[in-house]
Amino acid sequence: QVQLQESGPGLVMPSQTLSLTCTVSGGSITSSYYGWGWIRQPPGKGLEWMAVIAYDGVTFYDPSLQSRTSISRDTSKNQFSLHLSSVTPEDTAVYYCARAPVVTATPEEYDLWGQGTQVTVSS
DSSP result, 48-82: EEEEEEETTS-EEE-TTTGGGEEEEEETTTTEEEE
The residue-averaged pLDDT of 37-47 equals 98
Binning pLDDT at 50, 70 and 90, where does residue 15 land?
very high
Residue 108 · residue 51 · CB < 8 Å? no
**Strand pairing report for 59-61 and 69-74:** unpaired
CB atoms within 10 A of CB 68: 17
Q: Which pLDDT score, from 0 to 100, does residue 120 have?
A: 98
Q: Which pLDDT score, from 0 to 100, does residue 104 have?
A: 96
Q: Which pLDDT score, from 0 to 100, does residue 122 have?
A: 97
Q: Which helix (H) or strand (E) holds 32?
A: none
* pLDDT > 90 in the chain, percent: 100
Q: Which pLDDT score, from 0 to 100, does residue 33 have?
A: 96
- Alpha-carbon radius of gyration of the chain: 13
| C-alpha span between 99 and 53 (Å, rounded) | 10
The residue-averaged pLDDT of 43-68 equals 97
* pLDDT > 70 in the chain, percent: 100
Q: Which pLDDT score, from 0 to 100, does residue 85 have?
A: 98
Binning pLDDT at 50, 70 and 90, where does residue 81 land?
very high
Q: Name residue 122's beta-bridge partners.
A: none
